[in-house]
Chain A
Amino acid sequence: MVMNALQAEIDRDLKDAALIRAIQDGLPLVDRPYAAIGRDIGLDEQQVIARIRRLQADGDIKRFGVVVRHRELGYRANAMVVWDLPDEWVDRLGQNIGRMPFVTLSYRRPRRLPDWPYNLFTMIHGRDRAAVLKQVEQIKRRMGLTDVRCAVLFGGRRFKQRGAHYGVETPPPEAKPGQRLLDFPDRKSASGNHPAPAF
């Protein structure tokens, strides 16, 4: 019994891994994309759809749809805006700020005193700097944070950006002997998994 359950779980994980590999660079632009993916990995159309649905329900897929490139659409400014919030406020404010439409990430991270007093990290995109700063003001006003210490760190040069591929550490079928399997190839942009420079 135990072995069967374990085997079933392993099979499920292997199929999920194959599915994730098949979709992580996007659905094929053909009339029946889920059927096409299924053909490559030995599932039928309905099984592919059901598994994607489950990955979404489990939270492994955060969002499924058109992933745009902000920078190419004219969103050239991004800032990491960090806040020094009382610890008892950070969960609630982190959620509320994270719901504002121009905020693409909202994370709690530890302070590192005395150098670093900030405990909430939010990411804001705008067409230019002025737009980003206006949005920061909007957050402060709406959340009642005008007296809270914050810093706006505009993004500068990108020294390295490699797509954060999903960590499925199984070799792709086309891997050649000697090829390094754990290094995913560089991608032009990681936009989506991490909009513009991730943090």
Chain B
Amino acid sequence: MNGQSPADRFDAIDRRLLNDFQNGFPLSPRPYADMAEALGIGEAEVISRLRNLTDRGAISRVGPVFRPKRVGTSTLAAMAVPPDRLEEVAAVVSGYQEVNHNYEREHDFNLWFVLTGEDERHLSRVMGDISQRTGLTVLDLPMLAEYHIDLGFPLQW
């Protein structure tokens, strides 16, 4: 992973496997054979290359990306934490099982986290609790509309 540029680590076939099948994966009985045909290689080679790319950490899976938020509700929250308290406050936030992601960003609002729970009241209670324990304001920024159509991510080599 280190030093080498990604272009050096993946040959032309690997790059096409990574790039061309992020969307519209064949829903046919032998999908890897269909991919193989498109790539001009054998089905067994597609399978072994996908396994290899997974082992190397380049692929997380071959499968679905689900729409978020089918069950329960979620929100994005932000806090402006004094830099010398960031780790302490981050640890408080991470301690809640409702928090899936919690990370730093470069801004006055420097701590961002995603909360998931059964309903809005539940999430408000957690945010109120965090606010009370830390003495800091928590911005509640729920999604109002989703605009992006996820067609995968074209890789540039």
Residues of chain A having any CB pair with chain B under 8 Å: 20, 23-27, 29-35, 45, 49, 52-53, 55, 59-70, 72-74, 80, 90-91, 94-95, 97-99, 101-110, 112, 115-116, 121, 125, 127, 151, 153-164, 166-169, 183, 189-195, 197-199
* B40 in contact (CB, < 8 A): no
Seen from chain B, the residues whose Cβ lies within 8 Å of a Cβ on chain A are 1, 5-6, 17-18, 21-25, 27-33, 43, 47, 50-51, 54, 56-68, 70-72, 76, 78, 80, 90-91, 93-94, 97, 99-107, 109-110, 112-114, 116, 137, 139-156
Contacts of B33 in A (CB 8 A): 31
Flag if A153 contacts B105 (CB, 8 Å): yes
Q: For the complex, would chain A's binding face be called helix, strand, loop or mixed by DSSP majority?
A: mixed
- Cα distance, A183 to B98, chains bound together (Å): 10
User: Are B64 and A155 in contact, with the CB atoms below 8 A?
Assistant: no
Whether A66 pairs with B22 at a CB distance below 8 angstroms is: yes
- B94 near A160 with CB under 8 A, answer yes
Q: Least Cβ distance of B62 to chain A in Å?
A: 5
Flag if A153 contacts B106 (CB, 8 Å): yes
CB contact between B67 and one of A53, A61, A110 (< 8 Å): that residue = A61
Compute how far the CA of A151 lies from the CA of B105 in the bound complex, rounded to whole angstroms. 11
A154–B104 alpha-carbon span in the complex (Å): 9
CB atoms of A66 and B62 under 8 A apart: yes
Whether A60 lies near B67 (C-beta < 8 A) is yes
Partner of A98, one of B54, B72, B147: B147
Q: A26-B61, A153-B107, A198-B101 are in contact. Are A112 and B141 (CB under 8 A)?
A: yes
Q: B86 CB to closest chain A CB, in angstroms?
A: 9
A4 to chain B, nearest CB (A): 25
